[in-house]
Structure formats: structure tokens, C-alpha cells
Amino acid sequence: MNKIFSLANIQANKNCKIISVEGGYGIIKRLDAMGIKEGKIIRKISSQPMRGPVLLEINGSQIAIGYGMAGKIIVEEEE
């Protein structure tokens, strides 16, 4: 059974595949410009307590995004 969560709810140091990005045109375009789009494999490096920023690794680069934005990224946990 595949485990599907929002990126905000995935544990740190987990690889996952982006299933979809929920939200309006603006947020989808902004994430796409950072390389965060359907089908990409990313790794959640860490997240800060109290709904702080989420640190990701994608295409060999580290990117910080807000907790709310991370909640709109639906991912499938990789084995």
C-alpha cells in the first residue's frame, strides 16, 4: 500500500515522489519555477517546529519553503 501524505506531514530524511500540487495558478507556477512539480523525486531534509519552514533537497539543491506551501504538495513516500 502506497503512503500518500502532504509534504508537511512527512518525516525528515525521507525520499518521496510528488503526486500533485494543490492550489491556484500562482502557487503552482511558483513551485514549478523551483523545480517542484508532479513526478519529481524530492527529499525532505527537515522542518522547523511551530509550522516553520520546510527544507527540501531537489535536483541536488536545497530549498526552503513555507509550511503552508508544503501542505499543498501531495507526495508518495518512496521505499
**Helix (H), strand (E) at residue 33:** helix 25-33
Q: How many domains does the chain have?
A: 1
Interior CA angle at 57 toward 17 and 79, to 5°?
A: 35
C-alpha cell at 11: 518525516
Would you state the pLDDT for residue 45?
93
Q: Determine the structural domain holding residue 50 and report its residue range.
A: 4-77
Closest residue by Cα to residue 34 from 68, 62, 71, 6 = 62
Query: Which CATH number goes with the domain that contains 70?
Result: 2.30.30.90
**Helix (H), strand (E) at residue 72:** none
CA dist list (Å): 29 to 21, 48, 51, 72: 10, 25, 23, 13
Would you state the pLDDT for residue 65?
93
As a whole number, mean pLDDT of residues 26-40 equals 93
| pLDDT, tens only, 43-75 | 999 888 788 899 999 989 999 999 999 999 999
